[in-house]
Structure 1
Amino acid sequence: MKLLFWNLNKKDNADLALTCMREEEVGIAAFAEFSHADFSEEKIEGVGYRLLGFGGCDKVKVIARESIEVLDCFEASRFTVLAMKSGQSFFVGVAHLPDRMSSPDPESRLMDIRVMMDEIHGYENVLSISKTIILGDFNANPYDKELLLPNAFNAMLFK
């Protein structure tokens, strides 16, 4: 399954994004800084996709093919966690974390990451799903502690 994450930077690129999704057969797409993009339900459903979530996350918008089943959803201001099924079950976590200009201290990003990971780990245990994909605009560099700490994303670096 193909995934797409795009920070639209407050530009109305909804038509371009939907064309890309359709042509590249994207299963799940997520967008940050989408406030000027026209992702109306009519436009999305017209190309075989649907909006996901309940509106509890104002930083990312998630769109998926109509054939992908949503098992559960958790939303916070800066992230969404979805338990999904398309053949097999999996999680998708999508985040748009605070940028360094408004929040130079990584603690605000770490707090959001820890809450997100707590939700994911809880869902993994309750729903017995072990496949998780996390994508987004983390506003962090590859060697920043919020990506590497064991109690955060616990990312592994490799060449």
Structure 2
Amino acid sequence: MKCLFWNVNKKESINQILADVIEENNLDLLALAEYKDSENELLSELITRGIDFYYIPQLNCDRIHLFCRFKPGEIKPFQETNYYTTKGIPHIKLGYLTFVFVHLSSKLHNNDADELLEYSRTLKIDIEDIEKDVGSDRTIVVGDFNMNPFEKGMLGATGLHAFPTKFEARKHSRTIKEKNYKMFYNPMWSFLGDLTTPYGTYHYNASGYFQTYWHLFDQVLFRPSLLDHVDVKNVKILTEVKGKTLVNIKKIPSVSDHLPIFFEIK
């Protein structure tokens, strides 16, 4: 299953690029944040290319838009808020997987670490409730978290508890002061630093004493039960689509202020 998430920054004429993304990467699932173009026009463009895709409507979460090869009747709706939506989506080998698509509050409006940790804690509780209801922890969380992998809300045990290596994530959980905390695997850590390009999915030159310039706000997390079906080499930040660059001469995102992330579940 080939999937892509992209915060498209409210661009009103982006459907041609999205159709190129879907076609070039043979996507099964496309999740968008801040999408303002026409759903029907995108689907029509895909039909002209011989690609059958469907729009999956949301009830309470207008921050996320979903397009996929699966008919709406094949998608199971779960918990939904304004900041995230959860769906059961069929995988050809693994059966139904639980996808959690997120677009959490922007740091431009709220940069309080404790508040961001609270968002993550609430999300974590909802995810675990869904996993209990469906009887499976084959869960993927993907989207714009507006946090870096090393921040409390992403790494902390009371948050999403997402670790950078499969070695640690295979432990499935940690016990802290007699309480058990489930883990996620976060392959996006691999994009931090000079060994890979681009250096993140979002670039921001802010004033202040703490500055990284590049951020990995856009991430995908996997439960340990899916580790054997995920190859970190197939987790990518895209900078080009059909020869069209998505970055400027300084390698900073230009089509949107975010770059898309691609991942595959075998």
TM over 0.5: yes
- Structure 2: gaps (5+ residues): 166-189, 191-266
Q: Deviations over 1:106-145 (max 9, x none)?
A: 3443333233222221121121122111111111122110
Distance 1:155 1:54 in 2: 27
Distance 2:70 2:24 in 1: 16
Specify the alignment match of 1:157 in structure 2: 164
Please, what TM-score do these two structures have when normalized by structure 1? 0.86
Distance 1:111 1:60 in 2: 21
Alignment of 1:53-64 (within 5 A): 53-64=57-68
Structure number with larger C-alpha Rg = 2
Specify the alignment match of 1:117 in structure 2: 124
Alignment of 1:1-150 (within 5 A): 1-11=1-11, 12-35=13-36, 37-40=37-40, 43-44=42-43, 46=47, 47-66=51-70, 69-87=74-92, 88-150=95-157
Q: Deviations over 1:83-107 (max 9, x none)?
A: 1222311111111111211101134
**Percentage of pairs with the same residue:** 24
Distance 1:74 1:124 in 2: 11
Specify the alignment match of 2:210 in structure 1: none
User: Is contact 2:28–2:68 with CA below 8 Å preserved after alignment?
Assistant: yes
Distance 1:73 1:151 in 2: 22
Q: How far 1:54 sits from its partner (Å)?
A: 2.7
- Name the SS for the 1:126 alignment partner: helix
Q: Which amino acid letter does the alignment assign opposite residue 3 of structure 2?
A: L
Count of paired positions: 157
Moved more, 47-56 or 107-116: 107-116
Moved more, 1-10 or 111-120: 111-120
Q: After TM superposition, which residue ranges in structure 1, 4 or more long, deviate above 6 angstroms?
A: none
Please, what TM-score do these two structures have when normalized by structure 2? 0.54
- Name the SS for the 1:26 alignment partner: coil
Q: Residues 14 and 106 of structure 1: is their aligned pair in 2 closer, same or farther, counting only changes over 3 Å?
A: farther
Distance 1:86 1:129 in 2: 14
